Amino acid sequence: MQELLEEAIVGAMRNPTLSGLVNLWGTTILAALSSCAVMKVLTLAGYLAVIKISDWRRLLSGVFMYVLGMGFSYLFVMIIIIKAPFWINILVIGSSVLYSIVGIVLVVFGIIYLGFIKAPLSRIKLLSKSDPDHDYLAAFLLGAFVVLMESLSCPICNPILKLFSAIYVKQGIFRASIVFVVFFLGQSTLPLISGLILAPLKQLLAKRDGFEYIQIAGAIILVLIGLNLLWLS
């Protein structure tokens, strides 16, 4: 799959026509169905389920922020590969710590949302419901952290980001940026589709008095993802 995606990227760079870009987008969607897709989609599903919002438009805005966070991390890792490759070693060591921290945070939040621990979540500014902007910031951070963790060890993302770094250096920013945006759209398609399904579903279930069950499901997903990250740390 990695070779196919590399071919699609090189093809789109040589011939940036609509068909070349659509081919790259499609190949990226297929490539994104690797093990990291489980983490991206499940984390998003868990997040959407536990937050108190049930209006589908606001949930979708959260999904977009999550995807933007993903994009931020892809760019961040790529800039590090281009500008400061020696930092990669620090990121390698740091990734284990990051996995542990994010894993523990997700398990703790999952347990809190399950109701086993009473914690004054409303006092945490980031989770306060008085200002909806905070929901978006949390979604952005979640997307950014998930990609920062998985893009380093993902068998698809890591070599592809290295390829993009080489393209940026050798072929210039303009054409490389167009191709990178298409790659990013391909990577975002699955989370966006999940959001388009899950957001209206949550609104529907919440209206039918099922909010508590949704929140329990979301909390369990967060605990599972947290345990998964701890196992991988």
Residue 77 CB, nearest approach to another protein (Å): 13
User: Closer to another protein at the Cβ: 17 or 35?
Assistant: 35
Q: Which of 29, 68, 88, 205 touches another protein by CB under 8 A?
A: 88
Among 93, 123, 133, 208, contact with another protein (rule: CB under 8 A): 93
- What CA–CA distance (Å, rounded) separates 123 from 221? 24
Least Cβ distance, residue 220 to another protein (angstroms): 5
Beta carbons of 59 and 202 less than 8 angstroms apart: yes
* Residue 95 contacts residue 229 (beta carbons within 8 Å): no
Please classify residue 125 by burial: count the beta carbons closer than 10 Å to its beta carbon, then call 0-12 exposed, 13-18 middle and 19+ buried: exposed
Residue 35 in the binding site for another protein (CB under 8 A): yes
In the list 7, 55, 131, 212, the residue contacting another protein (rule: CB under 8 A) is 212
153 interacts with another protein by CB under 8 A:
yes
Among 100, 128, 158, 203, binds another protein (CB under 8 A): 158
Q: Which residues of 80-111 are buried (b: 16+ CB within 10 A; e: fewer)?
A: bbeeeeeeeeebeeebeebbeebbeebbebbb
Residue with Cβ nearer another protein (56 or 109): 109
Q: Contacting another protein (CB under 8 A), which of 97, 155, 169, 193?
A: 155
Greatest pairwise CA separation for the chain in angstroms: 57
Half-sphere exposure of 13 (CA within 13 A, CB side): 19
User: 179 and 21 in contact (C-beta within 8 Å)?
Assistant: yes
Q: Is residue 228 close enough to count as binding another protein by CB under 8 A?
A: yes
Of 196 and 224, which has the nearer Cβ to another protein? 224
Binding interface with another protein (CB under 8 A):
35, 38, 88-89, 92-93, 96, 114-116, 152-155, 158, 212-213, 216, 220, 223-224, 227-228, 231-232
